[in-house]
Amino acid sequence: MLVVHVSVVLGLLAASGWAQPVPNPPGRGQAGRGGLANPPAAVRSPEVAADHRVTFRLLAPKATEVVLTGEFMDGEKSLQKDDKGLWSVTVGPIDPEIYYYNFTIDGVRTIDPGNPNLKTGSTAGTIASVLEVRGDGPAFYDGQSVPHGEIHTHWYGSKSLNTLRRLTVYTPPGYDRNLQRRYPVLYLFHGANADETAWTRLGHVNLILDNLLAADKMKPFVVVMPFGYGVPPGTPPPAAGGGLGDNTAQFSRDLLEDVIPFIQSQYRVYNDRDHRAIAGLSMGGGEALNIGLNHLELFSYVAGFSAALRAGEFEKGFASLVANPQDTNRKLHLLWIGCGNKDSLFAAAKSFSGFLTEKNIKHTFRESTGAHTWINWRRYLNEFAPLLFR
């Protein structure tokens, strides 16, 4: 089998600052630790072949069972052990994309220890290894030779939650040079088990927008990605009630009383509803819809990607939105709902779209294939961003 190492190398490089074919072919030089020993030569895993089949490996002579699960396949696959204790399995071909996967070693679900590219988050449940299968050219989410925006990380004291928090901001290329120019702003939220770094690290928001801007497919705007929890991630549910509703209420206070005023004091953004959008994925999609659609005095573009919605609570949760459809439709420049048809939240999204239709609220319902994954969320952003601030 013809093996193309460069796919794996590039996946690794994308995670570490190298993002395009580099002039240093493997074998040219050593990036060593000087006097320190390098880590033991790792088994190559994952390895992507020219035909996009992928081989996963683990050296584990003492293990009795190693199983692979991943977003690129249904179910699970067992790895096979050779006489040196090297486990392996080949799957695919796999379409070019970024996928998460796990090894379960003797019953313990963990990462692929040979792969430095990890998905991390705010809780342990979604730790995974990252497989990047590259196509012939760069993907819409890849770093390319175009003008680049900046990513800023701020620490700020949240008065409403009495805590120190972080938020991430994307400024488009040229923001620092056009000092008289003001920009529209998108508030963009991550999902559960993630944090304020998720949209840049996993979502490639900056690269997607850099590429759209270079192709003149969208208007430039600032993106604000706050930490989306109002209560600590992983907090156990209270004995009675509470849950996501309380989280949204707490997060809403931080957003409206702390984040937005902070952004308006630090960035040259417009402060009117016509230049303000709100969107999020999963838990953050529920937050964006609940906060945005109940605050049309603040937001005129609203989106939920695979949003966490509670079917059966729409009448109560969106009473003001549907009270006067004509007024709502006049104010809402865009209401965009996207969900994959294999997503466990698909029924709720479809039900919400039906509710909006029944109430004569104009909206876009984007049914896609796929499940509750970043594959869809990157694509939704790529479709949604060009619709903003037109």
8 A C-beta contact, residue 321 and residue 348: no
Can residue 127 be called a binding residue for a copy of itself (CB under 8 A)?
A: yes
Write each residue from 312 to 341 as x if it is in contact with a copy of itself (CB under 8 A), else as -, in one continuous string.
------------------------------
Binders of a copy of itself among residues 272 to 291 (CB under 8 A) are: 282-283, 286
Among 86, 73, 78, 128, CA closest to 106: 78
Closest separation between CB of residue 19 and a copy of itself, Å? Answer: 4
Place of tokens 């990890």: 118
Among 358, 353, 355, CA closest to 339: 353
Strand 86-91 to 47-48 pairing: unpaired
Place of tokens 């013809």: 2
Among 174, 238, 261, 312, binds a copy of itself (CB under 8 A): 238
Among 53, 246, 257, 329, binds a copy of itself (CB under 8 A): 246
8 A C-beta contact, residue 374 and residue 203: yes
Among 51, 78, 118, 320, binds a copy of itself (CB under 8 A): 118
**Which tokens hold the place of 55?**
């081989």
Place of tokens 């999609």: 285
Q: Binding segment for a copy of itself among 72-80, 99-107, 213-221, 255-263 (CB under 8 A)? A: 99-107
Among 199, 229, 299, 355, binds a copy of itself (CB under 8 A): 229
Mention every residue, 6+ apart, whose C-beta is less than 8 A from residue 140. 208, 211, 378, 382
- Integer Cα distance of 54 and 48 in angstroms: 4
Closest separation between CB of residue 261 and a copy of itself, Å? Answer: 16
Closest separation between CB of residue 289 and a copy of itself, Å? Answer: 11
Closest separation between CB of residue 14 and a copy of itself, Å? Answer: 9
Helix (H) or strand (E) holding 378: helix 374-384
How crowded is residue 107: how many other Cβ atoms within 10 Å of its Cβ? 8
Amino acid making up residue 248: T
C-alpha dihedral, 298 to 301 to 355 to 249, nearest 10°? -40
Binders of a copy of itself among residues 169 to 198 (CB under 8 A) are: 176, 191-193, 195-196
8 A C-beta contact, residue 285 and residue 293: no
Can residue 370 be called a binding residue for a copy of itself (CB under 8 A)?
A: no
Closest separation between CB of residue 345 and a copy of itself, Å? Answer: 5
Among 87, 70, 71, CA closest to 79: 87
Closest separation between CB of residue 112 and a copy of itself, Å? Answer: 8
Can residue 65 be called a binding residue for a copy of itself (CB under 8 A)?
A: yes
Closest separation between CB of residue 162 and a copy of itself, Å? Answer: 5
Can residue 348 be called a binding residue for a copy of itself (CB under 8 A)?
A: yes
Can residue 96 be called a binding residue for a copy of itself (CB under 8 A)?
A: no
Q: Binding segment for a copy of itself among 16-24, 67-75, 359-367, 382-390 (CB under 8 A)? A: 16-24
Can residue 242 be called a binding residue for a copy of itself (CB under 8 A)?
A: yes
Place of tokens 């709100």: 278
Q: Which C-beta is closer to a copy of itself: that of 168 or that of 328?
A: 168
Among 256, 253, 141, CA closest to 187: 256
**Count of residues that bind a copy of itself according to CB under 8 A:** 113
Can residue 387 be called a binding residue for a copy of itself (CB under 8 A)?
A: no
How crowded is residue 59: how many other Cβ atoms within 10 Å of its Cβ? 16
Can residue 137 be called a binding residue for a copy of itself (CB under 8 A)?
A: no
Closest separation between CB of residue 330 and a copy of itself, Å? Answer: 30
Closest separation between CB of residue 331 and a copy of itself, Å? Answer: 26
Among 307, 334, 381, 388, binds a copy of itself (CB under 8 A): 307
The phi, psi pair for 119, rounded to 5°, reads -95, 120
Closest separation between CB of residue 212 and a copy of itself, Å? Answer: 15
- Integer Cα distance of 24 and 3 in angstroms: 19
